[in-house]
Amino acid sequence: MTWITAAIAAAAGMGVVAILDSHLLTKRMPSLLSFLLPIGIMHLVFGLIVLGIYPFPEEVGTVPLLVAFGSGIVRSAGALIMLNTIRSQEISRVIPVVHTYPIFVAIFAVPFLGETLGSLQWLGIFITVAGAALISVQRDSDGQGARLHKSFIILLGSSLLLGLANVGSKYALDYISFWNMYTVNSVCFGTIFLLMSARPRVMNEIRQINQRGIALSLLLLNELLVVAGVILFFWAMEQGSVSLVATITGTRPAFVFIFALALSRIFPAVLEERLSRGIIALKVVSIALIVGGVTLLTLNA
């Protein structure tokens, strides 16, 4: 496997994760906290297992570790915003806006990593924002006007946090391995999720879930896919060009849209997706703008 195929596999696999997240949060789990509790345990266990196999190098300094853990905490916050929004919004609208984070990677890289932005990159930023705004447009109930959905700004906040986290990860990967970076992220996710959700009330909610065995099995499958996707992403980032890895993994919204479209036709009860011809056309144009903008953003000027 090359880093290119690894990045493609990560994008496709995390597309499946987004679909499963949406199904679990809207159909299976009674609350966000009941979703976070089991996956928090899984993330913490997986992270500690990997830490036992691949410990941190002895020569790593304090600053890289602080940056790595800081990026893990920030990534956890961005993921929480995204997961909370998925409970009330269509997944094919949420993921494209969140995956505008290469905009913020490019902007943050200027002061923190000494990179520069050319005219092509700024054009990419404009196109990506336009695509994200377009997919967040919601028609008024009378059909006479349109406006941005209220979740747009919230999701841009998630995107900003993920962009900042990726800049931190890029810095830390110069000092630690992709296995170490995975450990950091899993421990941060697991600890934060458990601090939020480890409550007797939440445990009671889980015990009362209908078809609990199916729900927990889907959760386990989902988190195993997350493990694979994150490891592939960090491995690709370590082995290849960070800008090209970002370009490839930025195609995740396209995978999500394709999967959501297929499921809406075959198993319409799995997702809460409204997919009329007009909505499909809007989403196709929006995702094409986002992917195209991200591609321009990560090209060398």
* pLDDT tens-digit map of 206-224: 999 988 999 999 999 999 9
Least confident window among 29-43, 74-88, 127-141: 127-141
Can you give the pLDDT at residue 255? Answer: 82
Average pLDDT value for residue range 248-262 = 78
Average pLDDT value for residue range 47-52 = 96
Q: Is the pLDDT of residue 40 over 90?
A: yes
Q: How confident is the model at residue 68 (pLDDT cuts 50, 70, 90)?
A: very high
When comparing pLDDT for 102 and 15, which is higher?
15
Rounded to whole angstroms, the Cα distance separating 186 from 146 reads 40
Q: How confident is the model at residue 122 (pLDDT cuts 50, 70, 90)?
A: confident
How many whole angstroms from its chain centre is CA 24? 16
Average pLDDT value for residue range 88-115 = 75
pLDDT digits (tens, 9 = 90+) for 7-25: 889 988 998 998 899 889 9
Average pLDDT value for residue range 28-34 = 93
pLDDT digits (tens, 9 = 90+) for 223-236: 999 999 999 999 98
Vertex 20 angle, CA 14 and 26, to 5°: 135
Instruction: Dihedral sign for Cα 107, 247, 74, 32, please.
Output: positive
Single pTM value for the model: 0.81
Rounded to whole angstroms, the Cα distance separating 272 from 269 reads 7
Q: How confident is the model at residue 144 (pLDDT cuts 50, 70, 90)?
A: very low
SS (H, E, C) 42-80: HHHHHHHHHHHHCCCCCCCCHHHHHHHHHHHHHHHHHHH
